[in-house]
Structure 1
């Protein structure tokens, strides 16, 4: 089976096909009904494959991911609310469960505060009702009794607050872990596509220019076909480690499949290129062997395209430019980096 990158490239190279056929293929791939709204969105994408919209769609669907209704709305399209095909409901995630627990705890805190307030008001009324009697006669027993009651209530409230605070701290840690897991690739332990996109957006909001590199393992499909996916996974982890080691202080992310991205901040394009080329050379000079049989795996290389963002540019434009440079590097022999 061809990789997602190969499939995308075939689609781009078949520009001579009728637009109508490509629109139909787009709708089928993303399981969109052939309604006018969906058709109009698909027409905008396929009629200008080099445009910002098409590049953004390509970035969102890398790795065989289908567009969602939310994706289409974010890209300026409209969706049909009445779908013709039933959607499969997603199972609740761990994060959803933690959010529900947090909501329940907030409600519990509210109930507790109301109860403590009511108990305090009761004590105040009891104390006020006995005030005159306490002034006119020695009511030491009443004072002791009321004081003991209030102390019991205070101690009970403190115990409940301490338990709730401990539970809140545990939930906070779990939520932080869940947020981190949602932005991390489980195979390589690198930040994932979501984390990369969020970091890029943060730089753009701050008005900072960055250098963006798109890296792709050369002939990765051959590795999977010959040695199996478990070996392919090891190769991906090795590439991830090499990029992380060679690019300290910069964001290295697994974007999808055999594709990685590097976000260089605070350095020039020339400096970023030199750093990335060192990583490429480290990977290319290693000789990998199979752990089980000691059989040589052969050289593993990657190609890359790197470019510098311009003020106010959207991710789709910058990513698309780097992706085209990557294609050029592949076409010119692989195991190289093109920049612009």
Structure 2
């Protein structure tokens, strides 16, 4: 069974594997005491304990920790007048136990475990010349150290991969919420903004107004100057609306349409802010930089409504859209409150 009683001077990685298999089969913890007993059993260096294990297994009985602990006669070790071996055993056992318990910070635990094992291996090497048991333990400890370093490197690589994945996910999340033409939030992002601002404004008892803005006769710009010029006009309007006030969220929700959310400003203040931006844009005379042809005056129309007059975002936006339609119907280049 796992080479019990064979190869006392065997290859240490093979010995370590057999010890590990023996301990796992019987549900025994990888403590220093169990490793030493396991060494004596699988190599035959403790013939008496090997015989007792064989006899117990032949009887169909279990090798339990309680039964294991009842055998205090560990395999013979060199004299230890200075207590070095006893201290070494305690230190190595503590390192193994600490590594097993610290699951919430595996990287740190693996690193500390590796350092502890390195110190223990050095101490074992200093004692190894005193006997074959200690020499074999030195091989076992060194194999444990090598494997720990491999695990530490695997954890480090996994952490780097996880960090890279988190960055990629965050980038994808940002890109999914941004309108790539204007760099403004898109409709999906605005829905989150609206929900947060509505909740906060209600709690703080602050006014909250929503406005829909639309570029007047935008199709004419695209038809006369092409879509590239139309895109530049959209960016100009986006910049104008973004500069209205720090109390305003602006998002592009499709085509030539924008939505704005004003918190802490009443109806008149909201109207004045949008109307000021409308007038500033209308005063500009844009030129197609590719052809030097004048684009002419670009204007916007807007519709405003009080968010708290409506049960949800969809209803509020429909009310703002109705006000926008009124602005379009009454001449464009104007702002209406609905």
Q: TM-score, normalised by structure 1?
A: 0.60
Pick the aligned partner of 2:253 from 236, 252, 255: 255
CA distance in 2, matches of 1:274, 1:207: 21
Pick the aligned partner of 2:142 from 121, 126, 148: 148
Q: Secondary structure at the match of 1:189?
A: coil
Going from structure 1 to structure 2, the CA distance change for 1:127 and 1:306 (only over 3 Å counts) comes to farther
1:290 to partner: Cα distance: 1.0
1:187-234 deviation per Cα after TM superposition (whole angstroms, max 9, x unaligned): 111111111112112233446352101000011111112112111111
Q: Which runs of 5+ in 2 are unaligned?
A: 1-23, 41-71, 79-132
1:184 to partner: Cα distance: 1.0
Q: Secondary structure at the match of 1:211?
A: strand
Pick the aligned partner of 1:169 from 163, 167, 181: 163
CA distance in 1, matches of 2:336, 2:159: 54
Paired residues, what number? 222
CA distance in 1, matches of 2:183, 2:77: 75
CA distance in 2, matches of 1:164, 1:210: 46
Q: Alpha carbon RMSD of aligned pairs, Å?
A: 2.4
Q: Secondary structure at the match of 1:137?
A: coil
1:324-339 equivalence runs, <5 A = 324-339=322-337
Going from structure 1 to structure 2, the CA distance change for 1:211 and 1:170 (only over 3 Å counts) comes to same
1:135 to partner: Cα distance: 5.8
The residue aligned with 1:39 is none
The residue aligned with 2:288 is 290
Where relative contact order (Cα < 8 A, 6+ residues apart) is larger, the structure is: 1
1:243-301 deviation per Cα after TM superposition (whole angstroms, max 9, x unaligned): 11223352211111110001112332322222222211221111100112221111000
Q: Which runs of 5+ in 1 are unaligned?
A: 1-117
- Larger CA deviation: 140-149 vs 174-183: 140-149
CA distance in 2, matches of 1:249, 1:218: 25
CA distance in 2, matches of 1:311, 1:325: 14
1:176 to partner: Cα distance: 0.5
The residue aligned with 1:157 is 151
CA distance in 2, matches of 1:270, 1:141: 88
The residue aligned with 2:77 is 137
CA distance in 1, matches of 2:279, 2:259: 17
CA distance in 2, matches of 1:127, 1:317: 75
1:88-111 deviation per Cα after TM superposition (whole angstroms, max 9, x unaligned): xxxxxxxxxxxxxxxxxxxxxxxx
Do structure 1's residue 242 and structure 2's residue 240 form an aligned pair? yes
Q: Is the 8 A contact 2:36 2:74 kept in 1?
A: no
Going from structure 1 to structure 2, the CA distance change for 1:206 and 1:248 (only over 3 Å counts) comes to closer
Q: Secondary structure at the match of 2:214?
A: strand
The residue aligned with 2:178 is 184
CA distance in 1, matches of 2:310, 2:140: 68
1:317-338 deviation per Cα after TM superposition (whole angstroms, max 9, x unaligned): 1101111111111122111111
Going from structure 1 to structure 2, the CA distance change for 1:308 and 1:157 (only over 3 Å counts) comes to same
Q: Is the 8 A contact 1:305 1:338 kept in 2?
A: yes
1:133 to partner: Cα distance: 7.1
Q: Secondary structure at the match of 1:286?
A: coil
Q: Is the 8 A contact 2:327 2:336 kept in 1?
A: yes
Q: Is the 8 A contact 1:247 1:276 kept in 2?
A: no
The residue aligned with 2:43 is none
Q: Secondary structure at the match of 1:246?
A: coil
Q: Secondary structure at the match of 1:310?
A: helix
1:136-171 deviation per Cα after TM superposition (whole angstroms, max 9, x unaligned): 322321332222122112111110000000010011
1:239 to partner: Cα distance: 0.4
